[in-house]
Amino acid sequence: MNLLSLTYALFLLGTLGIYWSVSGTHLKMWVLVVASLLFYASLQPQYIPLLLVLTWITFQLGRAIGAPPDWRIEDWQFAQQDWNRRRLRLLMLGIFIQLFLLFSFKSIALLALSGLAALFKLNLAPTEAALKTVSALTPVGLSFFTFECIAYLVDVYRGAPASRSFPRFASYKLFFPKTISGPITRYPQFITQLQSATFPRAEQFTEGLWLIACGAVKKGIFADHLGTFTELTFTNIPRVGSGDLWLALIAYGFQIYLDFSGYVDVARGSAMLLGIHLPQNFDFPYFSTNIADFWRRWHMTLGDWLRNYLYFPLGGSRRGLVRTCVNLMIVMLVCGVWHGATWGFVLWGAIHGVGLVVHRLVADWSDRSNFLTAFWSSLPGILVAWLCTQLLVMLSWIPFRVPQLKDVGLLFQSLWGKTADPQFISKVYGETLKLTPQQFSIGLLLLFGLMAIAYLFHRGLKVQINWYLKLLLVPICLYGVYLLAPQGVTRYIYFDF
């Protein structure tokens, strides 16, 4: 079920009608559980049993971890120690189960394809086609699902209350707007909203529709059209010129941002119509002036997860500068592996890890230098910091987008001094885009200008469109997507993770 389809619109409308017509939180939870299972069944019905089993296991482990110690034992100190050891073992068991399933699907499927290639002498190396085959064999949204389960178990271990009702927990874990690609949420915040949910006021209902319309515009009009260019560029690497490659990197950076943030907007809008506010996941990341700030604005719930459940347990920045840098590298390498079991994603994580380490060292050095402190606060310093940050981000998209390291090396070599194949220029720009490279460059510049205007209104002037105007613009936006989106809306990029 595509989120930008009439099928999803009818599904959401039907769910809203039933959800708000039943009385009592318990019935509403069951409506969400059934609706979520129907939604997932429209994508991969064969994995419904797996999701239910994982949900049940996590629920039972949470109850066991959250169970109080038996204070009837006379030696209460022994009982406390035994209780802590038991809780830790249960937590480790839960984390192992989640990670084992995640890496089994992401890694073993890829190794199986490589084994078949060796056995039958087939060309099934980790090409893009092979990775898409692995993705089709992997449950959609498994990474987000397992990370939420781990977060829930760790929170219960740290003292958060465990769920005592399976329907209540299942309504959180399977909630259809966020199951596939997040945002990653925490159980207490979600269930508190669900228990106190009231029918949205006109402003809230309009805001939900507005988010859905904005997400549709980002995906259908901008991301999918940019995807046409990036797909042709990255699948014709030997024929691409340096200028085309730089355009493709910028276009892909915009594409993945608009694609993913567009999905999150639709998810948040759908949840808002159900009386639930999901956390924001993007905050104008391409206006960050350092890589640490970029990760505070890009995929914010994943960054929050990595900080709270990996970086801080490793020691964070409390054990000296060297240990801090090591922890940053570990976190970003894990982030790379989380995205996929190929060396390209590992390299992508390593690039961001090195960027975070360099930023940390520069920040430490700048704290001891009045000149550097003043420079980074000046307009030229801010501009230099922004350019360096965005250059690192854009270059890191190469290994993220291209699965094979040999192609990554070829693309890095092609960044300077390479002339494009004339047939490639004619095919891509003339026949497909019907634009010249200069016109396409101006289009990317205008798109960035739109982002800058939105950033100015939201972050600088703090101006918001009133809900009356939003309600008027919603049908215009949706009709624009209907007219301007390419034939057959493409799959969301983060569905593969």
Q: Write the DSSP string, 78-90.
A: HHHHHHHHHHHHH
Is 270 found in the same domain as 185?
no
Q: Which pLDDT does position 125 carry in this prediction?
A: 47
CB 274 within 8 A of CB 16: yes
Work out the widest C-alpha separation in the chain, in whole angstroms: 85
Q: Which pLDDT does position 124 carry in this prediction?
A: 47
Is 380 found in the same domain as 264?
yes
Domain boundary residue, one of 197, 224, 248: 197
Residue 220 lies in a domain: yes
Is 161 found in the same domain as 291?
no
Residues near 315 by Cβ (< 8 Å), separated by ≥ 6?
A: 323, 324, 327
Residue 286 lies in a domain: yes
Residue 381 lies in a domain: yes
pLDDT tens digits, 177-207: 999 988 999 999 999 999 988 898 999 999 9
Tell me the pTM: 0.91
Q: Which pLDDT does position 69 carry in this prediction?
A: 75
Q: Which pLDDT does position 32 carry in this prediction?
A: 96
Is 223 found in the same domain as 366?
yes
d(CA 291, CA 386): 9
Q: Which two tokens stand for residue 308?
A: 């709270």
Q: Which residues are catalytic?
A: 339
d(CA 128, CA 414): 20
Residue 87 lies in a domain: yes
Q: Can you tell me which residue has the tokens 């003339």?
A: 430
**Higher model confidence: residue 121 or residue 298?**
298
Count of structural domains within the chain: 2
**Higher model confidence: residue 115 or residue 428?**
428
Handedness of CA 427, 429, 430, 436 (dihedral sign): negative
CB 244 within 8 A of CB 437: yes
**Higher model confidence: residue 254 or residue 420?**
254
How far, rounded to the nearest angstrom, does the alpha carbon of residue 395 sit from its chain's CA centroid? 19
Residues near 125 by Cβ (< 8 Å), separated by ≥ 6?
A: 114, 117, 404
Domain boundary residue, one of 146, 168, 197: 197
Is 219 found in the same domain as 263?
yes
Could you list the residue range(s) of the whole structural domain that residue 330 is in? 206-496
pLDDT > 90 in the chain, percent = 63
Give the mean pLDDT of 461-490: 86
Residues near 253 by Cβ (< 8 Å), separated by ≥ 6?
A: 286, 393, 394, 397
Is 264 found in the same domain as 161?
no
Q: Which pLDDT does position 324 carry in this prediction?
A: 94
Confidence of residue 138 (pLDDT cuts 50, 70, 90): confident
Q: What is the mean pLDDT of the chain?
A: 88
Is 304 found in the same domain as 218?
yes
Domain boundary residue, one of 180, 197, 214: 197
Q: Which of 262, 301, 53, 263 is nearest to 177 (CA)?
A: 263
d(CA 9, CA 483): 17
CB 441 within 8 A of CB 250: no
Asked if residue 18 has pLDDT above 50, the reply is: yes
pLDDT tens digits, 87-104: 999 999 999 999 898 888
d(CA 69, CA 76): 9
Is 221 found in the same domain as 184?
no
Please, what is the angle between helix 48-66 and helix 166-173, to 10°?
120
Q: Can you tell me which residue has the tokens 């100015």?
A: 456
CB 290 within 8 A of CB 381: no
Is 264 found in the same domain as 181?
no
Confidence of residue 169 (pLDDT cuts 50, 70, 90): very high
CB 300 within 8 A of CB 279: yes
Is 186 found in the same domain as 212?
no
Residue 317 lies in a domain: yes
Residue type at 200 in one-letter notation: P
d(CA 496, CA 344): 15
Residue 83 lies in a domain: yes
Is 215 found in the same domain as 185?
no
d(CA 226, CA 490): 11
Question: How far from 258 is each of 128, 221, 251, CA to CA, in Å?
Answer: 22, 10, 10
Residue 323 lies in a domain: yes
Residue 1 lies in a domain: no
Is 96 found in the same domain as 33?
yes
CB 110 within 8 A of CB 342: yes
pLDDT > 70 in the chain, percent = 91
